[in-house]
């Protein structure tokens, strides 16, 4: 391929015709002007930079325990391209063509490309610096920063310039253009209020930290916002058995028997918010709760750490090291030192020894895997960190690495392997079945508001495909646990039910103050309608497994001030898996078992004024409500 600029080339056909005629008429030879020689231009190295510096094919790992993880470019995210040429072309004007496929998901088909943009390469002396005036990332390396819209699956890049043949095309691996939503929902407990810690501090971090979170996570778009519920304010919290005693009611932080029990309860409430709104499961939603609690003397005491996992996290309100660590757990990341010992993390002792460098687009700096000199961890780091290649290596923030960052950075660099894990959390895995269809495992389900539909990523075709909502597992997962109505006024109602009749905590059963906001509503089966009961008759109805998770032993009912009632049979019970008509499990009645304190969360319409909330004991609820239950 010969490099051309964006100029119109007019071929003088008339002159050519005259020359041809003359050549025919005259017996002498006529030599046409010789085309000027062009130099060959070949790429020695090329890298694509987002959170980390990646080769075109991305990175791949097989961990000692046989796990496979990969990390490639995230679609539609700002990217820098680094190129080192075989030829000495410093000072020459070299440009980069970016071609994109005209057919979504097309990879490598030369007939389905269009030129998207042409960008001049920055000279090597313009390469961005390394943080804390560290060692330059590379010499003799050209660079260019590319807007997100050009980073798509199937793209190719070609370098060249005036007087140069263009290079062979390079096809980087590009994946999902992902969107992660992160609602923040502060919990103000035991009398805490705006005077304790101002609401505007806890409901949203500074813009600089939101940008820093984005630079840390491998997503295309990060949507951080205060949860529509605003804040949670409760005077008491019921805590379950399992930390040395029975369930108990807490009215201050100094009454908690062990440090992480309250945070565990908050994670349960966060799951309740997600479940009641259909924002949990495989959706692209995380959630974090800053925890503000007072002791019984009315003084604020910090939570003393954090807790995270299963798309949720809680901890302090500063949105610094604890936050980024617990949200790593929310993404599914483990403690990397323990993971290294278990054979599921590749770098020694949970360090970054072996990870590629990173980059921060806000600071326009490369991030070395060495602890920077301006870091608070730099002094005497050789006594606490892995030492390699003459420097102390950073620790993963998932293994004590908080604080290894340069001055001015709220978070330190994660290893590339963590990015691969997070990317797989978003994309999932697509495999080809024997019949040629695709099978999906993991990955996020994305709601598309314009079409009121859902999509997911297909990593074989490199594109989004429809996600079909179903009543999965024969009714166990109604509407895939997704909303049937969105963005309406709702009350979210939490109930703690102490199911142990011999428990000493009679106050542990409580209905928490409802929260009113714009939210979603899930499928509701009214057990007072006979036709509904026919649908869920165990093993024989149209939804034969509706009650197979643990039975349908509870019914939720609300009454409004105008007398209107709503009733919902809950897919919760006290029985064993797949034994909806079996005997109750003893653990649910044991006051020393954590399962005896049960948390229920439901959304109900808030178009009326709520007056009464009831949780009904309705054993074998698939048979309906009657005087006996």
- HEC states along 120-171? ECECHHHCCCEHHHCCCCCCCCEEEEECHHHCCCCCEEEEEECCEECCCCEC
- Alpha-helical segments (H) within 161-258: 199-202, 207-216
Residue 309, beta-bridge partner list? 312
Q: Is 269 helix (H, G, I), strand (E, B) or coil?
A: helix
CA distances from 167 to 40, 144, 174, 510 (A): 8, 16, 20, 70
At 413, is the pLDDT very low, low, confident or very high (cuts 50, 70, 90)?
Answer: very high
At 7, is the pLDDT very low, low, confident or very high (cuts 50, 70, 90)?
Answer: very low
State mean pLDDT over 185-191. 99
What pLDDT, on the 0 to 100 scale, is given for residue 360? Answer: 99
> For residue 427, what are its two tokens?
């994309």
% of the chain residues with pLDDT over 90: 86
What pLDDT, on the 0 to 100 scale, is given for residue 259? Answer: 80
- 452 backbone φψ class: left, alpha, beta (φ>0; ψ -120 to 50): left
Q: How many CB atoms lie within 10 A of CB 118?
A: 15
Does residue 117 contact residue 103 with C-beta atoms inside 8 Å? no
Using the predicted structure, report yes or no on whether residue 389 has a pLDDT greater than 90: no
What pLDDT, on the 0 to 100 scale, is given for residue 244? Answer: 86
What pLDDT, on the 0 to 100 scale, is given for residue 28? Answer: 39
pLDDT digits (tens, 9 = 90+) for 438-451: 999 999 999 999 99
What pLDDT, on the 0 to 100 scale, is given for residue 135? Answer: 95
Using the predicted structure, report yes or no on whether residue 514 has a pLDDT greater than 80: yes
What pLDDT, on the 0 to 100 scale, is given for residue 106? Answer: 59
What pLDDT, on the 0 to 100 scale, is given for residue 108? Answer: 55
- For 58-72, 406-420, 522-536, which range has the lowest pLDDT when averaged over its residues? 58-72
> For residue 139, what are its two tokens?
């010499």
Residue ranges per structural domain of the chain = 1-177+356-372, 179-330, 485-623
Q: For residue 44, what are the contacts with CB-CB under 8 A and spacing of at least 6?
A: 84, 85, 86
Which phi and psi angles does 428 have, rounded to 5°?
Answer: 70, -165
State mean pLDDT over 310-328. 98
- 519 backbone φψ class: left, alpha, beta (φ>0; ψ -120 to 50): beta
At 131, is the pLDDT very low, low, confident or very high (cuts 50, 70, 90)?
Answer: very high
> For residue 258, what are its two tokens?
């062990």
Using the predicted structure, report yes or no on whether residue 387 has a pLDDT greater than 50: yes
State mean pLDDT over 412-418. 98
What pLDDT, on the 0 to 100 scale, is given for residue 17? Answer: 38
At 30, is the pLDDT very low, low, confident or very high (cuts 50, 70, 90)?
Answer: very low
Q: pTM for this structure?
A: 0.92
Does the active-site annotation cover 207? no
Using the predicted structure, report yes or no on whether residue 26 has a pLDDT greater than 70: no
State mean pLDDT over 96-120. 83
Residue for token pair 């691996």: 173
Mean pLDDT of the chain: 93
State mean pLDDT over 374-383. 89
pLDDT digits (tens, 9 = 90+) for 240-267: 998 889 999 999 999 999 889 999 999 9
> Distance between CA 411 and CA 557 in Å, rounded?
46
At 8, is the pLDDT very low, low, confident or very high (cuts 50, 70, 90)?
Answer: very low
At 23, is the pLDDT very low, low, confident or very high (cuts 50, 70, 90)?
Answer: very low
What pLDDT, on the 0 to 100 scale, is given for residue 65? Answer: 82
At 19, is the pLDDT very low, low, confident or very high (cuts 50, 70, 90)?
Answer: very low
Q: Annotated catalytic residue: which of 326, 365, 427, 602?
A: 326
> For residue 204, what are its two tokens?
């949203």
- For 215-224, 371-380, 528-537, 611-620, which range has the lowest pLDDT when averaged over its residues? 371-380
What pLDDT, on the 0 to 100 scale, is given for residue 336? Answer: 97
Using the predicted structure, report yes or no on whether residue 31 has a pLDDT greater than 60: no
Among 110, 140, 109, 112, which Cα is nearest to 126's? 140
> Between 36 and 76, whose confidence is greater?
76
> Distance between CA 354 and CA 248 in Å, rounded?
48
At 1, is the pLDDT very low, low, confident or very high (cuts 50, 70, 90)?
Answer: very low
What pLDDT, on the 0 to 100 scale, is given for residue 10? Answer: 31
> Distance between CA 603 and CA 492 in Å, rounded?
5
What pLDDT, on the 0 to 100 scale, is given for residue 105? Answer: 58
Residue for token pair 């491998």: 218
Using the predicted structure, report yes or no on whether residue 18 has a pLDDT greater than 80: no
| Count, residues in the chain | 629
Q: For residue 16, what are the contacts with CB-CB under 8 A and spacing of at least 6?
A: none
């Amino acid at each position: 391929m010969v490099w051309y600029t964006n100029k119109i080339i007019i071929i003088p056909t008339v002159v050519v015709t005259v020359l041809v005629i003359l050549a025919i008429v005259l017996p002498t030879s006529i030599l046409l002007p010789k085309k000027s020689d062009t130099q060959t231009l070949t790429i020695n190295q090329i890298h694509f930079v987002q959170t980390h510096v990646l080769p075109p094919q991305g990175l791949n790992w097989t961990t000692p325990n046989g796990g496979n993880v990969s990390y490639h470019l995230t679609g539609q995210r700002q990217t820098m391209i680094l190129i080192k040429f075989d030829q000495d072309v410093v000072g020459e004007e070299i440009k980069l063509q970016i071609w994109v496929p005209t057919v979504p998901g097309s990879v490598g088909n030369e007939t389905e490309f269009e030129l998207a943009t042409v960008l001049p390469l920055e000279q090597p002396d313009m390469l961005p610096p390394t943080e804390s005036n560290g060692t330059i990332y590379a010499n003799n390396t050209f660079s260019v920063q590319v807007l997100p819209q050009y980073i798509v699956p199937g793209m190719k890049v070609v370098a060249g310039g005036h007087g140069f043949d263009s290079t062979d095309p390079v096809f980087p691996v590009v994946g999902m253009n992902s969107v992660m939503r992160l609602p923040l929902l502060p919990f103000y407990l035991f009398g805490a209020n705006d005077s304790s810690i101002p609401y505007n501090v806890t409901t949203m971090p500074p813009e600089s930290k939101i940008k820093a979170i984005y630079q840390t996570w491998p997503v295309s778009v990060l949507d951080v916002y205060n949860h529509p519920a605003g804040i949670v304010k409760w005077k008491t919290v019921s805590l379950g058995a399992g930390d040395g005693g029975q369930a108990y009611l807490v009215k201050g932080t100094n009454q908690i028997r062990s440090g992480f029990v309250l945070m565990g309860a908050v994670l349960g409430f966060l799951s309740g918010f997600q479940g009641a709104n259909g924002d949990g499961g495989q959706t692209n939603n995380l959630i974090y709760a800053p925890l503000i609690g007072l002791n019984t003397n009315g003084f604020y005491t910090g939570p003393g750490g954090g807790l995270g996992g299963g798309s949720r996290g809680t901890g302090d309100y500063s949105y610094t090291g604890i936050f980024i660590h617990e949200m790593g757990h929310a993404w599914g990341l483990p403690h990397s030192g323990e993971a290294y010992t278990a054979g599921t993390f590749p770098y020694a002792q949970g360090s970054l020894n072996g990870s590629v460098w990173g980059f921060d687009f806000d600071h326009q700096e490369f991030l070395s895997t060495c602890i920077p000199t301006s870091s608070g961890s730099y002094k005497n780091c050789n006594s606490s960190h892995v030492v390699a290649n003459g420097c102390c290596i950073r620790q993963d923030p998932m293994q004590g690495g908080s604080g290894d960052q340069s001055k001015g950075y709220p978070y330190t660099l994660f290893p590339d392997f963590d990015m691969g894990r997070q990317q797989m959390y978003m994309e999932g895995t697509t495999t080809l079945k024997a019949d040629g269809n695709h099978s999906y495992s993991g990955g996020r389900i994305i709601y598309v508001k314009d079409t009121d539909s859902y999509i997911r990523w297909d990593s074989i075709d490199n594109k989004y495909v429809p996600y079909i909502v179903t009543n999965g597992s024969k009714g166990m997962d109604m509407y895939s646990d997704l909303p049937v109505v969105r963005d309406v006024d709702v009350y979210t109602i939490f109930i703690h039910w102490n199911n142990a009749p011999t428990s000493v905590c009679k106050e542990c059963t409580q209905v928490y103050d409802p929260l009113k906001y714009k939210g979603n509503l899930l499928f509701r089966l009214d057990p007072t309608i006979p036709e509904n009961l026919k649908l869920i008759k165990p093993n024989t109805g149209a939804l034969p497994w509706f009650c197979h998770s643990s039975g349908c032993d509870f019914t939720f009912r609300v009454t409004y001030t105008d007398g209107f009632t709503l009733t919902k049979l809950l897919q919760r019970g006290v029985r064993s898996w797949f034994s909806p008509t079996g005997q109750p499990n003893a653990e649910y009645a044991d006051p020393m078992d954590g399962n005896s304190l049960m948390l229920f969360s439901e959304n109900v319409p808030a178009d009326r004024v709520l007056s009464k909330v009831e949780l009904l004991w309705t054993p074998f609820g698939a048979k309906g409500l009657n005087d006996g239950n």
